[in-house]
Structure 1
C-alpha cells in the first residue's frame, strides 16, 4: 500500500492530471486497491480492499479481481470486478457509494466484467469477458443495450477484454481470444478489424487494452508479445513500443534507498538498464487527450510508462 503500484491493470485520468490506478495485486501480496495520485508522482490516497474469492457479502466494496476503471463527469470512480461480476462505485475521495450488477447470461447481467468506459452521454459500456458480450448501462446500472456473440468470424468475439471509444463514439474492443481489435458502431455493427494472430508486423497475441487518440491512431496493448502496437485509423500498423523506462521513477528511487539488498540484487543483473526499460506483460492503456499523452500499465513491473505524442512519433516522457 501507499506509494507504488501492485500489478496495475488499468487507469483513468482527469483533465488536471489526477490518476486513478486499479491494482490487481496477487495472492502472494494481497494489496488490491485503487491508487489516487498525480501524474507528477504525488501520492494522494488509496481506497478499496481485497476480499475473499469465496464467501462473504458480495454487496460491499471488497475487490476479488478488480479489472477496469472509469470516471464519470463528477469524478466518481467506477471499477469492474471480473470475479464478482459487479461494478463498484466510489466518489472522488474514495468513499464507497454503491454496487450494481449480477452474474448471469441474460441481458443486463454480467459474466466476467472486464474493461469499462463512459460515452459522451455518460452511459457505461461494460465488456463481458466470459460470455463474449459488450453491454451499455446507465450510471446506476440500468441495462440499455448490448451486442456480441462468441465466435471467430467478423463481428464475433472470443473472451473480449479491453474497451475504448474514439472521439466519434465508435467502440473498440480488444478481442483477446481472437488476437485482434474490432471496431463497432454504438449499435454493434462491425466497422473494422485491427491485427491478426502472430508475432510479426501488425500482429497481436492476446491483446488486453486499447485506446484512441485525437487523430484516430489506435494503440493496442499486445499482452503476450509484451509490446504496444500503434495502428492508423485505417488499421495499418505504424510502429511499436517495447518500453522506454531507462530511469527508475522517483517512487522507485525511494524504495531502493530504503532497501539496500534490492540495490545489491539489481547490481548483479547483467544489462540492468536494458532489462528494466522493457514492458513486462502490460495490460491496460489510456490516452490523455487533453495533454496528448499515452499511459501504459506496465503490469508485471508494477509501474506506468507515460509517452508524449508529438506529431508522427512517440517520445518517451517518464514512468511512474
Structure 2
C-alpha cells in the first residue's frame, strides 16, 4: 500500500482502499477481506478505461458497484461489483471535469462528483447521464464571509440514508448541506470558518477534505489542515461536537488526514 486516500466497505464487509499513486504501474484500488487479507487489486495501467493517474476519491453504491475519481485524468470511472471489470468513464460533459476529488452515491443509484477545479458538484443517474450541476455559493447562510481571494473547493462528499448530501468545501473551510429532493441550487444549511479553535461560536476547519456519516446520522469530518477528526450532528450543532487527534506519527495522531 502506497498513499491511501479513501476507502469503502461493501455489503460483505470487504474493504476497498484507493491509493493515490502517480504511476499507473502500482495498484490504484486494493480489496481486502474483513481480516485484512488482500483479495484483489486493480492497477492503473490496464484495469481502467484509460491509464489512471493520481486518483483521490472512491465511492460505492448499494449494489456494490464502485466509482473512482481519476483526478489527474479529469474523469470518473465505474466498475462492476459482479465482475470487477471497468464499466464506463464519464468526463463531465458538456463541461469537462477539472481535478475531480470525490464520488458519493445515494440509495437510488444516482451519484455525485466533487468537481473541485470547477467549484461545483455534479449529479448523475445510474447510467452516467448528468442530472444537474451545482456551483457552490460564494456566500452561504450560517457561514462567515469567505477569505479574500479564496474560491470554493468541493473536496469531499457524503450522502445520508435519506439521500441528504453533505459537501466538504476545502477552499472556504465549511460544510454545506443539501436536501435530498432539491434541485441542487441552494444549500439547506452550512457551517464553518477558517481556524483551529476547539471552542468557538462557529466550528472551525482548515481545508476539510473528507467526510462520512454513521447509522445514527453523525457526521465525521477529516479536518485535514488541523490534523484532526471532528464529529457533528446533521445540523452541525456545536454542542454535539467532538474532536480527536493532533499532529504526529503516533497512535491517536494524524498527518493531514484525507478521509474518514
Q: Under a length normalisation based on structure 1, what TM-score does the superposition of the two structures give?
A: 0.68
1:75-86 to 2 correspondences below 5 Å: 75-86=64-75
In structure 2, the residue corresponding to 1:35 is in which secondary structure?
strand
Question: Equivalent residue for 2:232?
Answer: 231
User: Are the structure 2 counterparts of residues 123 and 174 from structure 1 closer, same or farther at C-alpha, using a change threshold of 3 Å?
Assistant: same
Instruction: Determine which of 119, 125, 137 is the counterpart of 1:138.
Output: 125
User: Counterparts of 1:218 and 1:103 in 2: how far apart (Å)?
Assistant: 28
Instruction: Determine which of 166, 182, 185 is the counterpart of 2:179.
Output: 185
Instruction: Determine which of 13, 17, 22 is the counterpart of 2:13.
Output: 17
Give me the CA root mean square deviation. Answer: 2.8
Q: Contact 1:12 / 1:21 at 8 angstroms: preserved in 2?
A: yes
User: Which one is further off, 168-177 or 110-119?
Assistant: 110-119
Larger RCO: 1 or 2 (CA < 8 Å, sep 6+): 1
User: Are the structure 2 counterparts of residues 100 and 49 from structure 1 closer, same or farther at C-alpha, using a change threshold of 3 Å?
Assistant: closer
Deviations 1:273-320 (A, max 9, x none): x735411211012xxxxxxxxxxxxxxxxxxxxxxxxxxxxxxxxxxx
Question: Equivalent residue for 2:167?
Answer: 173
Instruction: Determine which of 13, 29, 52 is the counterpart of 1:34.
Output: 29
User: Are the structure 2 counterparts of residues 46 and 93 from structure 1 closer, same or farther at C-alpha, using a change threshold of 3 Å?
Assistant: farther
User: Counterparts of 1:49 and 1:9 in 2: how far apart (Å)?
Assistant: 15
Q: Which runs of 4+ in 1 moved over 6 A?
A: none
Q: Contact 2:196 / 2:226 at 8 angstroms: preserved in 1?
A: yes
Gaps of 5+ in 2: none
User: Counterparts of 1:241 and 1:40 in 2: how far apart (Å)?
Assistant: 25
User: Which one is further off, 230-239 or 177-186?
Assistant: 230-239
Shift in Å, 1:103: 5.8
The structure with more helix, counted as a fraction of residues = 1
User: Counterparts of 1:87 and 1:40 in 2: how far apart (Å)?
Assistant: 29
In structure 2, the residue corresponding to 1:224 is in which secondary structure?
helix
Q: Under a length normalisation based on structure 2, what TM-score does the superposition of the two structures give?
A: 0.83
1:250-289 to 2 correspondences below 5 Å: 275-285=250-260
Deviations 1:80-109 (A, max 9, x none): 111212122223377432332236673xx4
Rg: which structure is higher? 1
1:120-139 to 2 correspondences below 5 Å: 120-139=107-126
